[in-house]
Amino acid sequence: MLDRAQIDKTLATLISKGDIPGLAAAAADASGVVYNAAFGRRSLGAPARMTEDSVFRIASMTKAITGAAAMQMVEQGKLSLDQPAREILPFLADTKVLDGFGTGGIPTLRAPRGEITLRNLLTHTAGFVYDTWNANMHRYAQLTGLPAARTGKLAALQAPLGYDPGTKWEYGINIDIAGRMVEVVSGLDLETYLQRHIFAPLGMTDTSFIQRPEWDSRLTTVHARQADGSLEPTATAAPPSAAEREFFPGGGGLYSTTGDYLRFLRANSTASAS
């Protein structure tokens, strides 16, 4: 039996202790939504209260949705998990492995030992990494001006690998590339594809890569943890407009609500169990 009162108490305590400014929480089972509540405020020090329909920047939670889109393409025979990804994205044929830096700080690059596949990309074993956490890739990006995937510039996908495909796991731009594969074989940009084939069928009316004016009163603030453990609101750069993007990065960037994301999770949990 779900103890709503105890869940309310636990979540409200997080707010009263100052651990976080606010939260929205939801849970569901096979019969439907069994819990939905919101506590605290959308932004530290601001009066607007958190609501169940508050809109969040869901960051890497975007990856699961892009993965579902890629698997739809597999079901339709437009992609295969183990075909060389370069057959869909020819630029991947020129992808090299970054082995380090030689004399004068020149990047040391070599051909990869193995093929990049959709299976690798979806499981973060293709060799692509994030310059945020990988020191060599950070140095490479600084030297070459390699853009981040979140810029929507296709040049971001021409990053070298951090290691050979299939040899280890590391978090990286893999799902951004998988999303680009969906764009190529579907003939639609990822925003349009997701709206038509995932969001609209599931009733996810508040989910998009594009920030909508009607969300202004419901949009939550991003906060940064300070050295002393406190939180401070942080400025968030506006995402590129649709016209400025050369592709939509499937590894991050969606806006959504708790209710919308729960619809996605329920649909995919049901599909997995059937």
Which residues are designated catalytic?
Answer: 60, 63, 171
What distance in Å separates the CA atoms of residue 92 and residue 154, rounded to the nearest whole number?
Answer: 12
Amino acid at 77: G
Residue type at position 123: T
Say if residues 73 and 198 touch (Cβ distance below 8 Å).
no
Contact 172, 162 (CB under 8 A): yes
Which H or E element spans position 202?
Answer: helix 200-202
Alpha-carbon gap, residue 3 to 125, rounded angstroms? 40
Q: Distance between CA atoms of 74 and 72, rounded to whole angstroms?
A: 5
Please give the single-letter amino acid code of residue 142: Q
Residues 6+ apart with CB under 8 A from 5: none
**How far apart, in whole angstroms, are the C-alpha atoms of residue 84 and residue 207?**
31
Report yes or no: 179 and 249 within 8 Å, Cβ to Cβ. Answer: yes
Q: What span, in angstroms and rounded, lies between the C-alpha atoms of 150 and 249?
A: 6
State how far the alpha carbon of 230 is from the alpha carbons of 14, 18, 94, 223, in Å. 13, 8, 46, 10
